Amino acid sequence: MKIKVSLVEDEKEISEGLCFIINTDDRVKCIACYASAEEAIKGIENNIPDVVLVDIHLPKLSGIELITKLKPIYPSVMFLICTTFEDEENIFNALKAGASGYVLKKALGNKLIESIVDVYQGGSPMTSIIARKVVTSFQKQSPSKEIQILSEREKEILDFLAKGDRYKEIAEKLFLSVETVRTHIRNIYSKLQVNSRMEAINKAFNP
């Protein structure tokens, strides 16, 4: 079954280009394009996707405000920011709102499909410069009380998640199977009462 993708992008040429690229791959399918957050709110209600690719700068409500409204209603839908903004305020506001990944348009290249598949499978795709800013920020913060409920192994895995490692990379570093890593991550999400990597990191490292 193909991963269903919706786009929220106000520039028509960019939207059409992204949709065209998505539909060239057998793993994914662009099911809707919205030019504003307001259109997306109405459209997604009747046509729920697996992944929503969202620009931050939109005509009225921003992409971040859109995610804030929709994530609580559709917790299983993954929101992936695709924008030109790389300042820390937008990055962290987007992640706090519920975005599971953050990629820059200028650095996307041929990584669009892989980013969509990655976020759908539980990853948090980020352009390298964004990932560095996120990791640097979390390293400066003290762990919250929330993290104390995790086992030592779970804390170790969460630390790797915060560094941007994929499940396979974590498994190799800890000499575990990928499925064992997935089980630990599911337990982390359950204990922290979150649904994504970024929600877990944000909750664990924000006192």
Per residue in 65-77, pLDDT tens? 999 999 999 988 9
Looking at per-residue pLDDT, the higher value among 141 and 57 belongs to 57
CATH match of 142-204 with 1.10.10.10: yes
Q: Tell me the Cα Rg of the chain.
A: 17
**Which residue spans of the chain are classified as CATH 3.40.50.2300?**
3-135
Give the pairing of strands 51-54 and 3-8: parallel
**Which residue spans of the chain are classified as CATH 1.10.10.10?**
142-204
Q: In 3-state terms, what secondary structure has residue 102? A: strand
CA distance 34 to 178: 36
- CB contact at 8 A, 116 and 51: yes
Q: pLDDT band at residue 192, thresholds of 50, 70 and 90? A: confident
Q: What is the CATH number of domain 3-135?
A: 3.40.50.2300
Q: What pLDDT is stored for residue 125 in this prediction? A: 81
State the DSSP code for 60. S
Q: In 10 A of CB 53, how many CB atoms? A: 28
Over 60: is that where the pLDDT of 176 sits? yes
Per-residue pLDDT tens over the stretch 71-102: 999 988 999 999 888 787 888 888 888 888 88
